[in-house]
Amino acid sequence: MDTDEPNIEVLPDGPYRVTGAGLVRMRRVVGEDGVKRWERGPDLAHEGTFDLCRCGLSKTKPFCDGSEVGSGFDGTERAEATPPPRRRMRMGNGPAVLTDDPRLCSHATMCMAARTDVWILAEDTTDPEHRALLISMVERCPSGRLAYLLPPDPDPVEQRLVAEVAVLDDGPLWIRGGVPVRGSGGVRYDPRNRATLCRCGGSRMKPYCDGTHTRNGFRDPADEGGD
C-alpha cells in the first residue's frame, strides 16, 4: 500500500513520475442500449514511485523505457494551469444543467449514445430518465470537459473517485480523484477530479490530452514488446 500522498510530476521532455497513486487499465465498452461505459481491467503492478511514458514510443507501455531520449520528443507544456471559468458554457435550465469546456476534450465519446447525446438530453432534464442518463454520461467523461449542476447550487457535482491513474486502451491517462499534477517548470496545475494526460506525444496542450491520439495512430499495447 502506498503511503506517500498522490502526486504526478511532469519531467522535462520526459515521463510522468507518479507517487502514491494506484494504476489500473480501463477500456470502453458499448452496451446493448448503445450507451458507452467503462470496464475496469486489472490493476498494474508498480513500485511506490514509477514513471509512465509520455512520448508514445516506449516498448513497455504504459511504463517509460527511456525511448524519449534521443528521439526528438518535445514535451513543452502549453496547457493553462487553471482553465478560466468563463470558458465553460452552460446548457439547459432544468433541474440538471450541463456545463461544457470543449478545450478539455480527449475524444473519448462517452457523451454520445446510439440515439442521443448529452447536449440533446440537456434540452429537457425535467424527464427523470433523460436526467439520469445525462448525469451518468457526464460522469463517464474522463477529461472533465463535461460537468453538471443541480440548481440552485452553483457548484458542479462530482463523484467521489479514488486517487488513481487509469490507462485507457489506445488513449490517454485518466487521472482520477484530484491527483495533483506539477509541471516541469514548477507550475501546479489546478487539481481536477477528472483529467486526461497525453501519452501519445502529440498533444498541442501538453501535459493534457487534446485527442491527437485518435489521429496519429497511437496504440497501446505496442505492436512489438507490449504488455
Per-residue pLDDT reduced to its tens digit, 52-94: 999 999 999 999 999 999 999 999 999 999 989 889 999 998 9
pTM value?
0.93
Distance, in Å, from the CA atom of 157 to the CA atom of 72, rounded to the nearest integer, reads 41
For 92-107, write each residue's pLDDT tens digit: 989 999 999 999 999 9
Please say whether the beta carbons of 28 and 36 come within 8 A: yes
Enter the C-alpha cell of residue 24: 489500473
Please say whether the beta carbons of 31 and 25 come within 8 A: no
* Per-residue pLDDT at 98: 98
Positive or negative torsion for Cα 17, 14, 210, 32? negative
Higher pLDDT, 130 or 222: 130
Within 13 Å of residue 125, how many CA atoms lie on the same side as its CB? Answer: 22
Please say whether the beta carbons of 113 and 33 come within 8 A: yes
Alpha helix ranges (H) inside 4-162: 118-122, 128-139
For 4-17, write each residue's pLDDT tens digit: 899 999 999 999 99
Distance of CA 143 to the CA centre of its chain: 4
Distance, in Å, from the CA atom of 130 to the CA atom of 135, rounded to the nearest integer, reads 9
For 143-195, write each residue's pLDDT tens digit: 999 999 999 999 999 999 999 999 999 999 999 999 999 999 899 999 999 99
pLDDT-based confidence at residue 222 (cuts at 50, 70, 90): very low
* Per-residue pLDDT at 226: 40
Q: 167, 189, 220: which is closest to 9 by C-alpha?
A: 189
| Mean pLDDT score of the chain | 93
pLDDT-based confidence at residue 224 (cuts at 50, 70, 90): very low
Asked if the bond preceding 12 is cis, omega within 30° of 0, the reply is no
* Residue 18 backbone phi and psi in degrees, to 5: -110, 135
* Per-residue pLDDT at 33: 85
Task: Give the contacts of 186 (CB within 8 A, at least 6 positions apart).
Answer: none
Kind and range of the H or E run holding 181 = strand 181-182
For 42-54, write each residue's pLDDT tens digit: 999 998 899 999 9
